[in-house]
Amino acid sequence: MFSTIKRLWSWLWRPAPAPPPAAPRYIRPFRNVETVDTQAAATIAVEKRDAIALVEGAKGLKSVAFRCPCGCGEIRRVNTSPSIAPCWGVKVSGGRVSLHPSVDLTSGCRAHFVLKDNMAIMLP
């Protein structure tokens, strides 16, 4: 009887299994950053040169355009103008672009990613 209780006790208090390893995150680099003045010029920059296009307006940066990092091929435009919601913050430093917060698409490919220093890092 004591051995049965001992086996039950050891079974109840066994160590928890190790968590599964984290899935590798896909990282997509963007090599070019271009500043343009229209959405049409942004589309050309993204399609022909695979660039991140910063669309400038009279009052500053209006939007950021780039090819979707999931691989679907769509051109994504992210609003950076505070007068229109939703609005993302953008940091441009030394030819590198970062967006915050993350971009979480609710339709189409439903990609979720951050853009940091010209690298799109896919999130779960």
Read off the pLDDT band of 100 (50, 70, 90). very high
Taking only the tens place, the pLDDT of each residue in 50-71 is 899 999 998 899 999 999 999 8
> Is 24 or 68 the better-scoring residue by pLDDT?
68
pLDDT at 24: 62
Give exposure, 76-94, as e/b (b: 16+ Cβ within 10 Å).
bbebbeeeeeeebebeeee
SS3 99: strand
pLDDT for residue 11 is more than 80: no
Query: What are the sequence ranges of the domains in the chain?
Result: 24-122
Average pLDDT over residues 68-85: 92
pLDDT at 26: 80
pLDDT for residue 15 is more than 90: no
pLDDT at 1: 65
